[in-house]
Structures are given as structure tokens and as C-alpha cells.
């Protein structure tokens, strides 16, 4: 670019005192997608399912401990491939697509699935933005990064307009209710066809940046913890740290600077309690 615009360009020199620790990619602390995947895993219990997924932050649901992604081809393929998987085999099929990708290329697959009486659950992960690529607006948003409130196309109305009559909107941060809705849909063999769960809760990074939301309450692991590791092995929020003290006794703590206060961990463990953020 510098050559094209005939500008002088000096690459920046970056000096680091020590190497940064290596870490795998992960959904952010407090990401509602983690709560949605956790709820699907809980609703299925020991049963297995096929998870077609799509393109967005939520593709990271492929990683342990969530492991809720089996197939991804291109944008919109979660919905269209779910119909194929449901026709070809007996396992339940639970497909995932984000709000932005749904508007981009999920609607055509959904109409096709309704018309052809495909039998699967589609979870639309509605975090109110196009989070992965920079928080661009899409037709379903309530607020743009510049603070504009454009006319909003309601996802539930679009889904119903495509011919789906089994639709539920949930807040994935309300864990028990979300699990109950998913269990009911998975167990309802009397009414085949496409079922849609709209899992709606804002991206915490977008919320902080655009609405200026400040986190006052975070969560901590108290001494009631019995080291069952459920928080690590089933939820895996990156705000959790597994440590060992000088006597090599293991304990789990929450980094209050990473915790977004979503409260999902508190709903699954009696030993996790709220506390006021210190700084």
C-alpha cells in the first residue's frame, strides 16, 4: 500500500520482554455460544447427535470440552447439510448457525428443509452482531457499532415465515430453561419436521464496546469447591485457571479481569459465588 500511495513506510519494531504464553483459540469468557453448546450437551446427556455447524466465532464449538461441531463446508451449509444427514441416518441432528450467517445464506436452506419435511433441530445463535469479522451490522441487529438503530428484521418472524411452526426463543444464559426447551424438542418424536431454537444473548465484547456496559459483579470459586472439575471439563470458560500451590495442592480460581459476569458457571456449581469486581 505504501508503494502504491508513494508513501514512506517503516515497519514497526516490536520488542517483547518475554515470549507470550501459547494458548489455543477459544470462545471468549462469558460468550453466550458456550452456554448454548453446554445446554445442547446437557440436553442430549449420554446420547449422541450429528452437529453440522457454520462460519462464525461459534465454529470454535468444535474444541473440547464442548465438541459440538462435526461438519462445515461453507456459509449456510449447516442448514442444508442437516437435512441430508437427517434423511440418511437415524441419529438426531442438531445444526448451528449464527444470526449474521442465517441472514446471509441460512434462509434458503431452511425453506428447502421445511418443504422437504426434513427432521432436525436448528439452533440460531443470535448474539446481535457479526462478531467474528469485526462487528459489522446485519439485518437483525438492534444497534450498529456507530450507535444507529436501523429497522430490524425479526429472526423469529422470518423463521415462522419460512414455514417453521415449532420455534422457541431462549436466553442461553438461563441454563435450566434452555436445557428444558432443548430436551423437549429432542424428545418430541410425535411432531417431526424442522424445529428451531433461537438462542439470543448479546456478544459481551460488542455490548461493552457499543453500549459501554461496565461489569460490576464477577464470580469466584469459594472453599466449597470439591475439585470435581465440572467447570473445566464441561464448560471450559477461559476465565478459569487450574493451579497448584507450593504444597502441590490443586485449586481452581476465576480471573476477575476475564470474567464477564455471565453467571453460567454459578448456575452449574454451588461452590461458585458472586463478588464485587475490585478494579
Footprint of ligand SF4 (CB under 6 A):
29-30, 219, 221, 225-231, 237, 239, 252, 254, 259-265, 269, 271-272
Closest alpha carbon to 261 in 198, 229, 199, 219: 219
Q: Between 70 and 234, whose beta carbon lies closer to ligand SF4?
A: 234
- Residue located via cell numbers 464477577: 218
Q: Between 160 and 230, whose beta carbon lies closer to ligand SF4?
A: 230
Closest alpha carbon to 34 in 277, 211, 198, 235: 235
Question: Contact 276/217 with Cβ under 8 angstroms?
Answer: yes
Q: Between 183 and 277, whose beta carbon lies closer to ligand SF4?
A: 277
- Tell me how far, at minimum, the Cβ of 132 lies from ligand SF4, in Å: 19
The tally of CA atoms less than 13 A away on the side-chain side of residue 214 is: 5
- Tell me how far, at minimum, the Cβ of 87 lies from ligand SF4, in Å: 37
Q: Between 160 and 277, whose beta carbon lies closer to ligand SF4?
A: 277
Task: Return d(Cα 123, Cα 39) in angstroms, integer.
Answer: 11
- Tell me how far, at minimum, the Cβ of 138 lies from ligand SF4, in Å: 25
Closest alpha carbon to 56 in 135, 109, 120, 146: 135
- Tell me how far, at minimum, the Cβ of 223 lies from ligand SF4, in Å: 10
Q: Between 155 and 218, whose beta carbon lies closer to ligand SF4?
A: 218
Cell numbers that stand for 279 in this block: 478494579
- Tell me how far, at minimum, the Cβ of 35 lies from ligand SF4, in Å: 8
Amino acid at each position: 500500500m505504501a508503494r502504491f500511495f508513494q508513501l514512506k513506510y517503516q515497519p514497526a519494531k516490536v520488542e517483547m520482554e518475554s515470549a507470550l504464553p501459547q494458548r489455543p483459540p477459544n470462545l471468549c469468557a462469558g460468550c453466550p455460544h458456550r452456554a448454548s453448546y453446554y445446554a445442547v450437551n446437557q440436553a442430549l446427556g449420554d446420547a449422541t447427535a450429528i452437529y453440522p455447524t457454520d462460519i462464525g466465532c461459534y465454529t470454535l464449538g468444535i474444541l473440547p470440552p464442548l465438541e459440538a461441531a462435526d461438519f462445515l463446508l461453507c456459509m449456510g451449509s449447516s442448514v442444508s447439510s442437516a437435512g441430508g444427514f437427517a434423511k440418511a441416518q437415524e441419529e438426531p441432528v442438531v445444526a448451528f448457525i449464527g444470526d449474521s450467517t442465517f441472514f446471509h445464506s441460512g434462509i434458503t436452506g431452511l425453506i428447502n428443509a421445511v418443504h422437504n419435511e426434513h427432521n432436525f433441530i436448528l439452533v440460531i445463535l443470535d448474539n446481535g452482531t457479526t462478531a467474528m469479522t469485526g462487528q459489522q451490522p446485519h439485518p437483525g441487529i438492534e444497534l450498529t457499532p456507530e450507535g444507529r438503530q436501523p429497522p430490524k428484521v425479526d429472526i423469529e418472524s422470518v423463521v415462522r415465515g419460512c414455514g417453521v411452526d415449532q420455534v422457541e426463543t431462549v436466553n442461553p444464559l438461563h441454563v435450566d430453561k434452555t436445557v428444558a426447551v432443548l430436551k423437549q424438542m429432542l424428545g418430541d418424536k410425535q411432531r417431526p419436521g424442522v424445529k428451531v431454537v433461537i438462542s439470543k444473548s448479546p456478544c459481551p465484547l460488542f455490548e461493552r464496546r457499543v453500549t459501554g456496559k461496565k461489569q460490576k459483579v464477577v464470580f469466584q470459586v469459594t472453599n466449597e469447591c470439591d475439585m470435581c472439575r465440572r467447570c473445566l471439563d464441561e464448560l471450559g470458560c477461559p476465565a478459569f485457571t487450574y493451579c497448584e500451590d507450593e504444597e502441590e495442592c490443586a485449586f481452581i480460581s476465576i480471573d476477575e479481569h476475564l470474567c464477564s459476569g455471565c453467571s453460567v458457571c454459578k448456575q452449574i456449581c454451588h461452590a461458585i459465588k458472586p463478588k464485587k469486581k475490585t478494579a
